[in-house]
Amino acid sequence: MNGLFECSIKNKETLVIFYMDQDKKVTQRYARVVKYNDDYALVYCYYRKKVRTLKLDNILSAGPRKGIA
């Protein structure tokens, strides 16, 4: 996943991220990674229009969003 996050940062690429929150609810997010470390990813969430912190352990899957320029 590190390579995918690096591409998102470098190319300002939007990712689709499936994430499980603290209440075990799974959400789909369209986000751009701002920075990350071994535990967390700081992302800009396009739905909320805010920066969010996501625990890497709670990211179920992530990939490039198709159709975004």
Q: Who wins on pLDDT, 3 or 44?
A: 44
Q: Identify the structural domains of the chain with CATH numbers, from first to last.
A: 2-64 (2.30.30.100)
DSSP bridge pairs for 64: 15
38 and 29 Cβ atoms separated by less than 8 Å: no
- 66 pLDDT band, cuts 50/70/90, is confident
Global pTM value: 0.85
**What integer pLDDT is reported at residue 67 of this predicted model?**
59
From its phi and psi, is residue 64 left (phi > 0), alpha (psi between -120 and 50) or beta?
Answer: beta
Q: How far apart are CA 20 and CA 2, in angstroms?
A: 19
Q: DSSP character for 38?
A: S
**How does pLDDT run across 11-38, given as a tens digit for each residue?**
999 999 999 988 999 999 999 999 999 9
User: What does the H/E/C string look like for 7-19?
Assistant: HHHHHCCCEEEEE
